[in-house]
Structure 1
Amino acid sequence: MALDQLATSQDGAAAPLAADRLRPVRLWLWFVAALIVLMVVVGGATRLTESGLSITEWKPVTGTLPPLSAEAWQAEFDKYRQIPQYQQINRGMSLEEFKYIFWWEWGHRLLGRLIGFVFLLPFLFFLWRGLVDRALGWKLSGLFVLGGLQGAVGWWMVASGLVNRVDVSQYRLATHLTLACIILAATAAVATSLKPAAERRASSDWLRGYARILFGVVLLQIFLGGLVAGLDAGLTYTTWPLMDGHLVPPMANLFVQQPAWRNFFENVLTVQFNHRLVAYALFALAIGHWLSARRVGGMVARRALLILGLVAAQATLGILTLIYQVPIDIALAHQFGATIVLIAVTVNLVRLRQDA
């Protein structure tokens, strides 16, 4: 379903209920969105600390509690010592070192469970109080289902690293990250649609089309960032703007694998180069979007300028992450920046649809 179909216009879902009555629902959705942003950042830290495979079982209910005794800790550690990551990379790790990576993964999973409760319980309350009509109820139910699917995709990702690998599949990591961001965008879209725009300025089909493309390219860039993270591609070519001495790497190196399509997902050089190319395209699109929005003026132009500034800041963080060889603080700031850019382009898209 297209993003602008997930959101409702000012004359849609907001019409049956006054905007002020929907304020608690809107604030709740923005709180959920903030938790999703935190989840993405904690997931990034889990990846950067190589903690994601420390818990080798998926126990949605009983896994809520961490080990509570020395025997329980030793049992968890013994399970971890059976997988290739321990045997090939972390052999000799102490129990205390294991606890460090365990807490990151456990915290990531606990936060996912918390988001589920923070979403479900208020949703049921708002239904009971009559603050959610049928159209909005279906949208919120869809978000809840997507959240459950995300949990399953997370385990599907972890499972890829428990046998015959020392890390998770980059395909599954990128899918997990992108689905999280789709849920974030959908949550922000619904929340934005519940409040009428402060001002309405007629925008052109061209500008709305521009906004849709911008949103799509941001999601594509996030997916490519997941591939970069999954392959540790940011640790290989750490200069900018040149890669291994070239502005554009030789085609023979970009397409060294056969069949050719595998290079887009498995060739470290090609994956990182594509991430750079899409970053350049996104910056150019943000400039073009801003120039078009200036003709409309008002909040439309201000939103476009904000998006351009956020994209520029995010590109800067990406370059710093690369040249400093992925320090955890800058890398997490870069991942956080991606969610903020996504929220900005989502809000912009919904508001432009309301102006139609």
Structure 2
Amino acid sequence: MTTETYSPAAAIGGKAQAATRAVAAWLLCCAAMVFAMAIIGAITRLTESGLSITEWKPITGAIPPLNEAQWMAEFEKYRQIPEYQYVNRGMSLEEFKQIFFWEWFHRLWGRLIGLVFLIPFVWFWATGRLSKRMVPRALGLLLLGGAQGFMGWFMVMSGLVDRTDVSHYRLAAHLGLAFVIFGALLWVALDVLDPRPGSHRAREAVGLRKHLWFALAMVAVTVVWGAFVAGLDAGFAYNSWPLMDGRIAPPEMWNLSPVMANFVENTATVQFAHRWLAVATALVVWAYAFRALKSGIDPRGKMLALGLAGMILLQVAMGIATLLSFVWIPVAAAHQGGALVVVALILWSLHELKVPTEGRVAYVGATS
């Protein structure tokens, strides 16, 4: 017969581990919601729904129209903007309700993300479950979320007066900020879960990290040009691969002056740039995977490299399928989600290879 002895240190350690898991789960849940938000946003854009709500009401806007009079009032506001007058003139109320739903749901999901982040943050902070190191990072994430809400409205504003759609520059900024928020949430969650990863012991880790940062920069540029493709509806042109109207580079790529304007304003050039940026990015990622598999990093780092190589191949395939299907919404939305998965795998790989600072401050505070 044995007797168990109560250990205060073990009890405190158990509470700290529980707090760590809770904080990590909170951050990962928020990251998953941002991922879903990107998919919803893609559908909103692809269904041309983004301008259906012409006002920004952060609080009362969460409630959709509840009766026929309210629906007609919203519809009348939409009838005043150029998109209705030049693109959707004659649209029925039922058709308007369909596009209204996606924009309303997109905004509602953004509000839910804010609540899911803010309420646990306040509780974790008030109960001492966040360290001094974690608090400013969480506050920074909160500010990024608020900035994203403003950026979304700033984007919508660009399509309410003189245009029939939103500015593709503002669309790219809105999407890019979503990627930043997703990546920041994931990185902090990884720090909480695994503050001292093991692959840093390999001598090759420094070079591999530089390679990954370059790959991440390539992904970022490719995503920006993907947003330009979406904003200019460039995906509906040149729906073949690898040629564009029978040529690698169609002559109309250089119709604008100055020449550099073609890369951000010309449909042909924007799609061409996105195509080959994606291919170049894939080659950079595959080169990293080859190096990682031949290196002495830990098995988890090698598994991540394999997963990243496979995911970038799938992402290129989904991009081609998006073109060949004339931007079929399920494939196009999955393509946007795939970009986030690629970013997640790169960040996870970077985290696995990082060299932790000795004596670093924990992200989770002691519990009472």
Q: Do both proteins adopt the same fold according to a TM-score greater than 0.5, normalized to the shorter chain?
A: yes
Structure 2 CA distance, aligned partners of 1:296 and 1:247? Answer: 40
Structure 2 CA distance, aligned partners of 1:182 and 1:104? Answer: 23
Structure 2 CA distance, aligned partners of 1:270 and 1:135? Answer: 45
Within a 5 Å distance, the mapping from 1:290-301 to structure 2 comes to 290-294=289-293, 295-297=295-297, 298-301=299-302
Equivalent residue for 1:349? 350
Q: Per-residue deviation at 1:355?
A: 6.6
Does the CA-based 8 Å contact 2:197-2:354 persist in structure 1? no
Structure 1 CA distance, aligned partners of 2:151 and 2:262? Answer: 24
Equivalent residue for 2:9? none
Farther off after superposition, 105-114 or 337-346? 337-346
- CA offsets, 1:208-255, max 9 Å, x none? 1011111111122111111100011110111101112112344xx323
Does the CA-based 8 Å contact 1:19-1:195 persist in structure 2? no
Farther off after superposition, 311-320 or 201-210? 201-210
Aligned amino acid, residue 211 of structure 1: L
1:220 is aligned to 2:221:
yes
Within a 5 Å distance, the mapping from 1:23-172 to structure 2 comes to 23-172=21-170
Change (3 A) 1:19 1:259: farther
Secondary structure of 2:19's counterpart equals coil
Structure 2 CA distance, aligned partners of 1:189 and 1:20? Answer: 20
Q: Per-residue deviation at 1:130?
A: 1.1
Query: Which of 1 and 2 has greater Rg?
Result: 2
Structure 1 CA distance, aligned partners of 2:280 and 2:349? Answer: 19
Q: Per-residue deviation at 1:354?
A: 3.9
**TM-score, length basis structure 2:** 0.89
Equivalent residue for 1:269? 268
Aligned amino acid, residue 219 of structure 2: V
Q: Per-residue deviation at 1:66?
A: 0.7
- CA offsets, 1:45-103, max 9 Å, x none? 00111100000001111111111121111100000000011111111111111111111
Change (3 A) 1:18 1:212: farther
Equivalent residue for 1:193? 191
Equivalent residue for 1:204? 205
Equivalent residue for 1:312? 313
Aligned amino acid, residue 31 of structure 2: A
Structure 1 CA distance, aligned partners of 2:23 and 2:81? Answer: 44
Q: How many residues align?
A: 339
Q: RMSD over aligned Cα, in angstroms?
A: 1.7
Secondary structure of 2:255's counterpart equals coil
Structure 2 CA distance, aligned partners of 1:255 and 1:179? Answer: 30
Farther off after superposition, 292-301 or 142-151? 292-301
Structure 2 CA distance, aligned partners of 1:245 and 1:137? Answer: 56
Equivalent residue for 1:278? 277
Structure 1 CA distance, aligned partners of 2:250 and 2:287? Answer: 27
Structure 2 CA distance, aligned partners of 1:224 and 1:60? Answer: 30
Aligned amino acid, residue 315 of structure 1: V
Does the CA-based 8 Å contact 2:197-2:351 persist in structure 1? no
**TM-score, length basis structure 1:** 0.92
Q: Per-residue deviation at 1:204?
A: 2.7
Secondary structure of 2:185's counterpart equals helix
Farther off after superposition, 318-327 or 342-351? 342-351
Structure 2 CA distance, aligned partners of 1:179 and 1:216? Answer: 14
Q: Report the identity percentage.
A: 46
Equivalent residue for 2:173? 175
Does the CA-based 8 Å contact 1:119-1:144 persist in structure 2? yes
Structure 2 CA distance, aligned partners of 1:36 and 1:110? Answer: 12
Equivalent residue for 1:329? 330
Q: Per-residue deviation at 1:20?
A: 4.9
